[in-house]
Amino acid sequence: MFIFDFGGDVMSYKTIRKTASDSITIEKSEFIGAISPVKSDEEAVAFIEKIRSENRKARHNCYAYVLRDGFITRYSDDGEPQGTAGLPILDVIQKTGLTDLVIVVTRYFGGILLGKGGLTRAYSNAASLAVGASEIVEMLSGYYLEIESDYSWYERIIRCLGEQGARVDNTEFSENVKIVAAIKAEACDRLMEALVDLTNGSVDIVKSNETTIDFS
C-alpha cells in the first residue's frame, strides 16, 4: 500500500547549523560578530536581544537577518552612521547565499573614530568572521519515507536503502518493523521502485511532503 502526500516545489538552500562567534579589534575598538540560525522574526529578535543583554556596556549592537519565509531581510545600524553597519552585515549574508540566519555585530568603542569607510569595513569584516566561525550546511530537497514490512525483509531493505543513498533516521521493532528513511528528491522514485521489486510488493511505504533535509 502506498500513500502519497505531495506538496509544492521545494527549493534547496544554504544556512548554518548552530550559533557561533568571532571578533576583531580595529583601532582599539572590539567588534564581535555573533551568528545564529533562525526561522522567524521572533527567533531573530530573541537572539538580537540575547546578545544585547550579554553586552550591556557595548556602544552598539548592529545586526542583519535574512529569512526564507516571506523573503524577509532586516537590518539596523543601532546608532552608527547610516549605512555603515547594518547594510554591510546584510551584504555579507547575501554574498554568501545564506538564509535563515541572523548576524549581530557588537562594538565596544575604543576611543578612536574610524570614519564611515572604516566602520563599513569593520562591520563587514566582523560579519565575515562570524560566518567563517559557523558551520554551513546545504539543505536539499527530499522526502521522508516510512517503510513497514515483516521482519524477513529487514536486512535486505536496510541494504537497499544504503545502495540507493538513503539515510535511516529511525527504526521501530514491533509487530512489524518500521523504518523512517530520508532520501533526496531525485532518488525517491527509484528507491521506492527498488523496494517494491525487492519485496515483491509486500512493503508498505508512506511518503511525506517534499521538504528540505540536511543530508550532511
pLDDT along the chain (216 residues), means of 10: 42 93 95 97 97 95 95 95 96 96 96 91 97 95 96 96 96 96 96 96 94 91
Three-state SS string over the chain comes to CEEECCCCCCCCEEEECCCEEEEEEECCEEEEEEEEECCCHHHHHHHHHHHHHHCCCCCEEEEEEEECCCCEEEEECCCCCCCCCHHHHHHHHHHHCECCEEEEEEEECCCCCCHHHHHHHHHHHHHHHHHHHCCEEEEEEEEEEEEEECHHHHHHHHHHHHHCCCEEEEEEECCCEEEEEEEEHHHHHHHHHHHHHHCCCCCEEEECCCEEEECC
**Residue-wise pLDDT tens digits, 120-166:** 999 999 999 999 999 999 999 999 999 999 999 999 999 999 999 99
Mean pLDDT of the residues in the chain: 93
**For residue 50, what pLDDT is reported?**
97
